[in-house]
Amino acid sequence: MQLSDYDAFPTTLPVVVEDELFLYPFMISPIFLTNQKDIDAATDAMENNSLLFVTSAKEGQEGKRDFDAIYKVGVVGSIMRKVHIPDGRVKILFQGLARGKIIEEKEGDFNRALIDIVQLDTYNKLKAEALMGILRDKIKNLSALNSAFPADLVRTIEENDEPHRIADLVSSMLKLDKDVAYALYIEANIEKRLLALIDVVTSEIEAAKVQREIRTKVHTKIEQTNKEYFLKEQLKEIQQELGMDTQREEEIATFREKIAKLKPHMQEDAFKEISKQLDRFARMHPESADANVLQSYLEWVLELPFGQLTKKNLSIAKVSAELDKDHYSLEKPKERIVEFFSVRELAELRGIKQKETSGAILCFAGPPGVGKTSLANSIATALGRPLVRIALGGLEDVNELRGHRRTYVGAMPGRLVQGLIEAKHMDPVIVLDEIDKVGRSMRGDPTAALLEILDPEQNSKYRDYYLNFNIDLSKAIFIATANDVGRIPAPLRDRMEFIGLNSYTPKEKFEIAKRYLIPQELKKHALKRREFSISDKALKLLIDEYTREAGVRNLRRRIAGLMRKSARKLLENKTKDVVAITKKNLEKF
């Protein structure tokens, strides 16, 4: 296929812009098109059986398709094959035929321009032969130092006598910046072009010699044949030659310091596993995928609060006071909670190990809105421990609790381990919310993992798949909440002691609203106590007629609705100082 088979030049041709490659006339190269203008241009060339002009985007202008962002000189050629790829891209096989340049830009839906063939200057054959001889010698030297120049290319350069073709061949094999490659490409004087190429190849030879010298220095230091160790030492030599910073070494040293500091508080298997992974990380190339995975792993495990325990002693007086302060009624549940912690406090005072007095796990069972979660919050506050809430509703994947193995992309520790990291202590109060709504699917049964977590005999050696070592959960206090006890599997139910929270009576709701809900909602809605009032009769009517529920969540929403309307009235009527809600006007609100 030759230029003579097509229309005479200059002629109008569709234009395709290549962001990455720099093409030359002799090349047959696949080009992947993602920009719609490029795809339309290639389609037009195929449909009209015409040539195609391919040029490169300027440095820093990749992705742009206006004529100011592309080089004016490129390659005229033909499309040998065009294939549509499932991901939306189009692949064309392009054969370059000659140098071309843009004479005039044409308007249209895609890039099109008047193209003419670039006429090359005449040259002195003797000078060109001499320069080509020097270039061939330089290429031989470079190919001996750098495997990027294969023997076939050297042979082709030896056998070819056309200087422009040789210059194109050498340029295509050198990793040149776009601007440098373009400057060489548009040089019409072959003598200047060959001289410039000789300078570039000479620089490449010097760089290859430095690399070989570095490798030689490294080999004298290394007695092992381990490839990873060799690469690490080579990298050190390169960094010394270039004067690069030692950020990675400092990071590894920081990891080692943290491990040494945490070692007294770690179990033996945890220390071995973390040290082993750190040694692997230190040997790896920083750009490898495994290095990123190991760095994430080390950052996670060294965030674990090994040995960090709350210093506040257990006091049932404080527990009882906090429960009474935050909750009205619920006498039996509060009494049972105080009894539960009385045993623990007595054991602490008498020096009895916690494992012998762990007993059952508390589970608050009752309808929605009766205060199950808030009881757990009060316990955490009274004990001076951080609260970790794990919502189990709809949980189907056991790996959410156990953690994902590090072989998976985006692997993370389980929710329990993440909870300990957030709490910054190994003895938080962990609330397993909605334990009766745990699902089961092909990804495993989370209730089976909960059996180990809630068993005092086993949770001192709980194993997270991501960490790959045991951690001690025995110092944490586990509290579960549930609406329907019957939906909890029998083995799991056997590990818990249920404290039932029954529905509130209207009288109890009235007191809860007066003592807790109204003051809390006043604060949320930026209202002062004197600006809002609701009569006792109106509040009782609100409870009896507007909120028929076991708990007080809907009652809270109704009170919030009253306050929103009150806030609006105060803003609309600046003279109004107070909004009073009575039995008579309640319906209007």
Q: Which of 530, 531, 586 is nearest to 559 (CA)?
A: 586
Q: What is the CATH number of domain 506-588?
A: 1.10.8.60
Q: Measuring CA to CA, which residue among 83, 80, 74, 84 is closest to residue 111? A: 74
Q: Does the structural domain 125-215 have CATH classification 1.20.58.1480?
A: yes
b/e per residue, 421-438, with b = 16+ CB within 10 A? bebebbbbbbbbbbbbbb
Residues with pLDDT less than 70, the chain: 1-2, 4-5, 218-228, 232, 239-246, 353-360, 443, 589
Cα distances (angstroms) measured from residue 97 to each of 67, 75, 374: 22, 7, 78
Coil, helix or strand at residue 498: strand
pLDDT score, position 356:
43
The rounded distance, in Å, linking the Cα atoms of 63 and 65 is 7
- Rounded distance between C-alpha atoms, residue 82 and residue 92, angstroms: 4
Question: Which H/E stretch holds residue 510?
Answer: helix 506-512
Q: Give the alpha-carbon dihedral of 74, 75, 80, 81, to 10 degrees.
A: -10
pLDDT for the residue numbered 224: 54
What CATH superfamily classification does 316-500 receive? P-loop containing nucleotide triphosphate hydrolases (3.40.50.300)
- Per domain, the residue ranges of the chain are 3-117, 125-215, 247-301, 316-500, 506-588
Quick: pLDDT tens for 199-227. 888 888 888 888 877 777 766 665 555 66
CB-based contact 82:65 (threshold 8 Å): no
pLDDT in tens, 52-80: 999 988 888 888 888 888 888 999 988 88
Beta strands 90-106; 28-33: pairing state? antiparallel
What pLDDT score was predicted for residue 589? 65
Span 3-117: which CATH code?
2.30.130.40
3-state secondary structure of 259: helix
